[in-house]
Amino acid sequence: MSKLEVGYARVNVTPPLGVNISGYFVKRIADGVLDELEACAVAIRNEGKTVLLVAVDHLGIPKEFLDEWRPEMAKAAGTEADAIFVHSTHTHQGPELVKNSKNPANVLFENLLHTRLVDVAALAVADLKPARMGIGESEAKNVAFVRRYRMKDGTAKTNPGVNNPDILHSIGETDERVNVVRFDREGGETVVIANFGNHPDVVGGTKISADWPGLTRRMVEKCIDNTKCVFFNGAQGDVNHVNVHPKAGDFNDMFNDFDGCSRGYGHSRHIARVVTGAIMSVYDKVEWLDKCDIRYMQKVVEISANKADPKDLPLAHKYYELHLAGRHDEIPYKAMMLTTVVAEAGRMVRLENAPDTFPMRFSAVAIGDVAFFGIPGEPFTGIGRGIKEAEGWRMILPCCQTNAREGYFPMKDSYDEGGYEARSSNFKAGTAERIIEEGTKILDELR
């Protein structure tokens, strides 16, 4: 008989006003809070093994912080550092997190997040209660769209704009599946983990928000008594919320932002309602599983750096210096193309004197025949689909921005086609396919 125990904890990680908000290539300073940022933790124990699954409302926590914090979290939870799985939901309305920030508000947030993550690890383990586990799968329709498009001139563009007459078709296919893992606990609230891939870049502006992942958690908890919801974002690198061909009321509660991308807090609420509906549609009909033994693994793999051709470096330096000086009007591009060119220039400058390869950490946690696979950046949908095809599992939940934040992982053909993600990626073409290969090996080892 299974001796599965599950604990749950949540802490507030809302930053002080005045922090730099991350997520764009323009400066934003937080001047208000639309909804609170949180860190949610699920501790899972069976036969003496304990793992900790943590989801944080943040764009992505860099590995230099997590390499320091995860051992402290492990000590607080009474387990090993390799059993600590820290995921960022990727909200674009959260605080910047960089070493040696010159903004005192950001330094305060760094210290707050560090303390709260150790706290939430201890609190989740202290809440352990006997439990059973069930799984279910549904769909969230028409809220995630591939954001890369083939244009009439043959080029590929990211976020080419709503109703752009030069769009031919999207490049790729969204994965609308919503994975649900439910833990019913003796003498405690039910814990629901949901997994769905889409960009939380819906709100815009200068207010702090967890975007639709945070709103989804709160809606599920409001709709289902005595239930706590934790959200893990999936393969979202090439998808977002923008329907470039809106009909009827599709554009309600949205506005065209500075980069040509349509956004709005009301639309974030809409996505949350659709995802919540998908979760609720399977909540009562999960399949209860008997096998709940725990395994975990982390593996470091060397990945090739996407270094620039030396002849392209002078222009890259020029554009990046203009960006840092806030002189974007001197760069001959606008809207999303400006963002693309600046991001590409930053990548070239950043990697100019970098090593030829970088170590990349992959993380996996298995509970019976259910696996969480952590990818340390923003995987394209094709990676999520490839990982889900690993044999021998009842359910696989790919999770972006886990235990590091390494940028975009585009599919190989995206590098020839162009677009923001491939032009800004730190890693050479073929990395996405390597992630699928290595991820499948890891999952095979854990099976």
163 conformational bin, left if phi > 0, alpha if psi -120 to 50, beta if neither = left
pLDDT of residue 332: 96
- Length of the chain equals 447
d(CA 314, CA 321): 11
Instruction: Give the pairing type, strands 32-33 and 207-208.
Output: parallel
Q: State the 10-residue block means of pLDDT for the chain, 447 residues long.
A: 89 98 93 98 97 98 97 98 98 97 98 98 98 98 96 92 95 96 98 98 97 98 98 98 95 91 97 98 98 97 96 97 94 91 96 96 98 98 98 98 97 91 95 98 97
Which token pair is 338?
Answer: 């400006």
Q: Does the pTM of the predicted model rise above 0.85?
A: yes
d(CA 434, CA 299): 13
**Residue 422 is inside which H or E element, if any?**
helix 420-424
Question: Which of 87, 178, 174, 231 has its CA nearest to residue 385?
Answer: 174
Question: How many CA atoms lie within 13 Å of 2's alpha carbon, on the beta-carbon side?
Answer: 20
End-to-end CA distance of the chain: 20
pLDDT of residue 2: 65
pLDDT of residue 1: 44
Q: What angle do CA 286, 130, 72 make, to 5 degrees?
A: 105
